[in-house]
Structure 1
Amino acid sequence: MTVGAPARPKFEPHKKFGAWLGRPMTSFHLIISVAALLVTLGLTMVLSASGVHSYDEDGSPWTIFARQVMWTCLGLFACWVALRLPVRFLRRTAFSAFALTIVLITLVLIPGIGHEANGSRGWFVFAGLSMQPSELTKIAFAIWGSHLLATRRMERASLKEMLIPLLPAAVIALALIVAQPDLGQTVSLGIILLALLWFAGLPLKVFVSSLGAVVAAAAVLAVSAGYRSDRVRSWLDPSADAQGSGYQARQAKFALANGGVFGDGLGQGTAKWNYLPNAHNDFIFAIIGEELGFVGAFGLLALFGLFAYTGMRIARRSADPFLRLLTATATMWVIGQVFINVGYVIGLLPVTGIQLPLISAGGTSTATTLFMIGLMANAARHEPEAVAALRAGRDDKMNRLLRLPLPEPYVPTRVEALRDRLRSGSPEPAKKTTRKPARKSTRNPEPARSRAALPAKTRTAKRPTRRAGHHGGASRQDYPDGAQRYGQPAGGPARRPRTLEGQRYG
């Protein structure tokens, strides 16, 4: 090294990665990127897994894939709409949307209106396209429940006032879904209810009792029909009916075993040749394991792990209690479905029919999941640092490409503002007007003479003049209550993190 030459900076990737994580728009870019990767992988695997079944049903290997592409495009549009929705509009229409979905899942039970498939009357069919209204019920319940609990938590409502609107509404929705009957949707709605109770910070006894009620309802539903009870028995004893109720789970394990570490290659799997029923839907994870191997299956689970991290990151960094609760609940909803689907494919759980989000072939499920991801990305844009960066004019290519409006900063309610002042320990009003003796002695260096004894000109010269601030505004030192004019309580700290008491994240 030449003497006197400046030393080269060390390459420290962990510091650069930490700096990237600290950027204002990192959460937004992460959630969009993970969703794009999952959608791309899902469409690829649906095309690979559905070709044979689609050809047997319709004479074309593209039918199921084309339908999935159509629903994905609809879901991407719904995601874009969710990105543009104002938070106030979401909260204002939350209950109306939930009530509308209750009407829909009631209508679907009427013969002639609802369509029955696989022993469940839970679909509307229009022009050959099926729509499952219970998926809409889950989204509406998550939004309304988050709004209700966040509002009443801020108002310090009693436990009864927080649970009375929420639990009866959940019981009504669960009863209507059980009447279809649909075990998978019942479990999904139960996950949303439990996530709301947990992240809202309600007492543990309420959470445990609700968990017991959901498990009991799922157990009753699991043994209420013959084919579901057969699935439970085949899970408890896989060799009892290997060619009957246990055939599907057994073939899924064979497909995973055939894949090995690196898989047979994309499109080269054999389980989809009518050896594994519903290979493109409930058991698509087995096809991923067979064609992409352990590496591909682990990569998919790592993507969902990154999705979970990003969702909880957004929840922690959000200032709005409603967005915190909604984002955490949506994250647990998606990850809960992943856990159950992968669990019954590998044999750890009984088969429930829950799809793998964004991967399985299912139109309504894909569209509603993308809408919920759009709400999560909207919450990421409303993080305090992101709001400040975007409203300060910092360029963001993704926001410019999607033509998204500027996010509105979070304004706390009057109750929360009062609680902030109490926490900050603001001084009493009398202390604001007291002047320190040292400042008096500095302004009047002759303590022996009173100020009244000075000549008039001297008094005029000694009077401090008010200086004009930038653009005609006054400076902070010119006001006794200058701290309040700058958005913080007088004598309080410069910045205080807004946290919701009793909430749990991660």
Structure 2
Amino acid sequence: MRREHGRDVVFGTPPAPPAPARREKGKPAESGPRAIPAALTAWLSRPLASFHLILALCGMLVLLGVIMVLSASSVSSGNPLTGGGVYSQFLKQLMFVGFGGVTFWIGLRLPLRRLRRAASSAMVAGLAGLVLVLTPLGASADGAQRWFVLGPFSLQPVEIAKVALTLWGAHILVTKAAVLHQWRHLLVPLVPAALLTVALVMAQPNLSGTITLAVVVLALLWFAGAPKRLFAILLAGGLAGILVLALVAQYRLARVLSFLSPDQDYSGAAYQARQAQYALADGGLFGLGLGQGQSKWNYLPNVQNDFIFALIGEELGFVGCAVVLALFAAVAVVGLRIALRNRDPWIRIVTGTLTVLLTTQAAINIGYVVGLLPVTGVTLPLVSYGGTSLVVTTLLFGILANAARHEPEAAAALRTLGPGRLGGLLRLPAPELPRRAPSSRPRRRPARP
């Protein structure tokens, strides 16, 4: 022991670290580029950061969709042959947004444990809807029978079937988690039920619905931890099935051939894809201006549905397209963040599958608009014009927001500090605390007295 600078120091121990320098009073905190990542990291570490991000992303996508549907449908709605006003489709879209707000609130408020218990009933209801739409109760248009028409509204049962398959498939996989190393338990009954659903959808026929159902099955198996070689087998079988389906139907074969050789088909199946690329090229960097696009003047038919991304590129330019891509990339990151931060295996599989479903739909739609994929008819979630798709997609975002409130830190904060202003306004119940994982140690018998 020795004396150093007025204090005792024990030999063999490192000196105490110096005390951190205090910030002088009146001196501003660190600012500049270095402060932005620190502030972002601090905000993301908050318990409800994922919940607020999902709310913001859903709201921005819905707002963008309403604006672009107003711009895209003003020409087709004002056509005297349709018998509607200039704002008829826009007002319909606003009504769908109102219904979507209700389904978002239901998905956000419904207890996830109750939602899991209703998964089997939802699967039966989804299959029943797919069967009934093929009967005279379903409405047919352009050679397809996909809708139930209820007055001025239409309902596509395949959208409900996608959600039901996600909830029920995750329930089956979690229930059989102990035996998933055996292929027969991993594949049965999920794959037979999925094949039945796909067969009913193809009978409509509906290729876009078939693709999204296949995405759901692959995502369920991926997040359940299926072996990698299984995905190679499923992808090979899927590609073979797509090839057969393309050869059976003449209009599908025409789409594939026009994608492979677009320069030889300007007025047939490649017309919409070609006009979409023209619209994107006309937009340039900043676009022609909102409402100034030329493609909606019947150059690009039904631009408000499947090809609304082309109008975004024409009117808002590359910058608008980049914003759309950034929003869906953020949905992917936040959705996977919610899945990783939850402890409940059912919530993790459902959240991951719904995230993959939403982002894959957006990727397919943008892919065939820019010419990277053949046209399949998959809509851009929350942006394209449509009733059933928008209402069901807002339900999915509500389930994602509900799962974000069930993150361990978020659940503890909400049960301790209360629901907050937004939670009180929406009358959201306190989330359930996650259960502890069962211990792997064997239980010992109690000793005899």
8 Å Cα contact 2:173/2:180 also seen in 1: no
Q: What letter corresponds to residue 42 of structure 2 in structure 1?
A: A
Quote the offset at 1:325 in angstroms.
Answer: 0.5
Q: Which amino acid aligns with 2:76?
A: H
Tell me how far 1:203 sits from its aligned partner: 1.1
- C-alpha offsets along residues 83-126 of structure 1, whole Å, 9 cap, x if unaligned? 1111221111101111111011001011x211112321110001
Equivalent position SS for 1:124: strand
> Which residue identity does 1:101 align to in structure 2?
G
Partner of 1:417: 438
1:339 is matched with: 363
Pairwise CA distance, 1:219: 2.7
Secondary structure of the residue aligned to 1:125 is strand
Q: Shift in Å at residue 30 of structure 1?
A: 0.3
Q: Deviations over 1:463-497 (max 9, x none)?
A: xxxxxxxxxxxxxxxxxxxxxxxxxxxxxxxxxxx
4+ aligned runs moved over 6 Å, structure 1: 426-430
Q: Where does residue 297 of structure 1 map in the other structure?
A: 321
Is it true that 1:9 corresponds to 2:29 in the alignment?
A: yes
How far off is 1:215 after superposition?
Answer: 2.7
**Mapped partners of 1:392, 1:232: distance in 2:** 57
Q: Which residue of 2 aligns with 1:383?
A: 407
Gaps of 5+ in 2: 1-22
1:32 aligns with 2:55: yes
* 2:119 equivalent to 1:94: yes
Comparing 130-139 and 400-409, the one that deviates more:
400-409
Secondary structure at 1:418's aligned position in 2?
A: coil
| CA displacement 1:62-99 (0-9 Å, x = unmatched) | 12112222122111101101111112211111011111
Residue 235 of structure 1 corresponds to 259
Q: 1:70 aligns with which of 80, 83, 95?
A: 95
Say which of 94, 109, 131 aligns to 2:134. 109
* Counterpart pick for 1:149 among 162, 173, 180: 173
Please list, as runs of the form range in 1=range in 2, the aligned pairs for 1:422-461 lying within 5 A after superposition.
none
Taking only aligned residues, the RMSD between alpha carbons, in angstroms, comes to: 2.0
Residue type of the alignment partner of 2:90: F
- Structure 2 Cα separation of the partners of residues 5 and 156 of structure 1: 61
The whole-number CA distance in structure 2 between the counterparts of 1:67 and 1:96 is 31
Q: Secondary structure of 2:377's match?
A: coil
Deviations 1:315-352 (A, max 9, x none): 01011100100000000001111111011001110000
Give the alignment of 1:480-491 within 5 angstroms: none
One-letter amino acid of the structure 2 residue matched with residue 418 of structure 1: S
State the partner residue of 2:20: none
Cα distance between partner residues in 1 of 2:239 and 2:115: 31
Taking structure 1 as the reference length, the TM-score comes to 0.80
Aligned to 2:352: 328
Counterpart residue type for residue 53 of structure 1: S
How is 1:116-265 mapped onto 2 (pairs within 5 angstroms)? 116-154=140-178, 158-265=182-289
Matched, 1:84 2:109: yes
2:61 equivalent to 1:41: no
Structure 1 CA distance for aligned equivalents of residues 311 and 341 of structure 2: 37
Distance between the aligned counterparts of 1:138 and 1:389, measured in 2?
33
Amino acid at match of 1:10: E
Taking the aligned partners of 2:266 and 2:186, their CA distance within structure 1 comes to 48
Paired AA for residue 398 in structure 2: G
The Cα offsets for residues 26-64 of structure 1, whole Å up to 9 and x where unpaired, read as 000000100000000001101110111122223412121
Name the amino acid aligned to 1:115: A
CA 1:297–1:47 in structure 2 vs 1: closer, same or farther (change >3 Å)?
Answer: same
Question: Quick check: 1:178–1:221 contact (8 Å CA) kept in 2?
Answer: no
Deviation digits for residues 440-466 of structure 1, max 9, x if unmatched? xxxxxxxxxxxxxxxxxxxxxxxxxxx
Partner of 1:396: 420
Stretch moving more, 360-369 or 149-158: 149-158
Change (3 A) 1:429 1:20: farther
Mapped contact 1:380–1:386 kept (Cα < 8 A): yes
Mark the structure with the bigger radius of gyration: 1
Is 2:309 aligned against 1:285?
A: yes
Q: Is the 8 A contact 1:102 1:137 kept in 2?
A: yes
Distance 2:65 2:225 in 1: 35
Query: Is residue 18 from structure 1 mapped to residue 41 from structure 2 by the alignment?
Result: yes
Q: 2:73 aligns with which of 45, 50, 60?
A: 50
The C-alpha deviation readout for 1:286-327, integer Å capped at 9, x for no partner, is 000000000001111101111111000000101110010000
Q: Distance in 1 between matches of 2:113 and 2:179?
A: 18
Residue of structure 1 equivalent to 2:14: none
Q: Judge conservation of contact 1:288–1:296 (CA < 8 Å) in 2.
A: yes
Contact 1:32–1:377 (CA<8 Å) still a contact in 2? yes
Inter-CA distance 91–154: structure 2 relative to 1 (3 Å threshold): farther
Distance in 2, matches of 1:5 and 1:247, equals 68
Aligned position for 1:479: none
- Which digits, 9 at most, give the CA deviation of each residue in 1:267-289, with x for residues without a partner? 00000000001100000000000
Within 2, Cα distance between the matches of 1:252 and 1:67?
A: 25
Distance 1:243 1:51 in 2: 25
Tell me, yes or no, if the aligned pair for 2:419 and 2:428 is still in contact at 8 Å: no
> Quick one: which amino acid aligns to residue 185 of structure 1?
G
1:291 match: secondary structure? helix
Aligned sequence identity (%): 48
Describe the shift of the 1:8–1:273 C-alpha distance in structure 2 as closer, same or farther (beyond 3 A): closer
Q: TM-score, normalised by structure 2?
A: 0.90
* Cα distance change of structure 1 residues 63 and 218 upon mapping to structure 2, 3 Å threshold: farther
Please say if residues 183 and 218 of structure 1, whose CA atoms lie closer than 8 Å, have aligned partners that are also in contact. no
User: Structure 1 counterpart of 2:101, which letter?
Assistant: L
